[in-house]
Amino acid sequence: MPLRPFLVLILATLLVGACRPADPPVVVYLLRHAEKEVPPADTTDNPPLDPAGFARAEALVRVLGDAGVTRILSTDYQRTRQTVQPLADRLGLTVELYDGRALADVAEMLRGASGRILVSGHSNTTPDLVDRLGGDPGSVIDELSEFDRLYVLHLSPDGTTTMLLRYGE
């Protein structure tokens, strides 16, 4: 007889857990930096955005300004930071830096995160990170002319869904 209350407690715990709404999926927005100066005025490997790039960064504010972004990550290059800084300013967020050479670690961190996260990277790192998150990176990014690709990944226990959008002029 004393076993019955114990079984009822276990059954109730299981039912409450089963009825609890599922955690919302993590949404990760990934993009390559906007247009950069070519050739760079400072002749380093860290050029800033050019005027078209700054215009695209403002377009990103219009596209994601009301999307509920809670974190913004960027590699430590002028062009990647400048691409997301206007959105960070609008949302009152600090741009967090990540190492583009440690994409496995970044993917693991993103899988364990919550909320809506924007990641600014490069033509060679962004598709790789999409792939590491279980998404579909699509075709290779054209290094010279493609700056408008915006991936939207929904990460959930059931898998990753990928949507590819375009933004800016």
Distance CA 139, CA 17 (A): 41
- Secondary-structure percent of the chain, ordered helix, strand, coil, rounded to 5: 35, 20, 40
- Its CATH class, for the domain covering 23-166, is alpha beta
Residue ranges of the domains in the chain?
Answer: 23-166
List all residues 6 or more positions away from 150 whose beta carbon is below 8 Å from its beta carbon.
Answer: 29, 30, 31, 63, 164, 165, 166, 167
- DSSP state at residue 49: B
Per-residue pLDDT at 22: 59
Question: Do the bridges between strand 149-156 and strand 116-121 make them parallel or antiparallel, or are there none, so unpaired?
Answer: unpaired
CA angle 94, 129, 73 (to 5 degrees): 0
More confident residue, 40 or 146: 146
Q: Give pTM, 2 decimals.
A: 0.86
Place of tokens 């919302």: 24
CA–CA dist 122, 41 (Å, integer): 20
Q: What are phi and psi of 155, to 5 degrees?
A: -100, 125
Kindly report whether the peptide bond that precedes residue 39 is cis, defined as omega within 30 degrees of 0.
Answer: yes
The per-residue pLDDT for range 94-130, each reduced to its tens digit, is 999 999 999 999 999 999 999 999 999 999 999 999 9
Is 23 a residue whose pLDDT tops 90? Answer: no
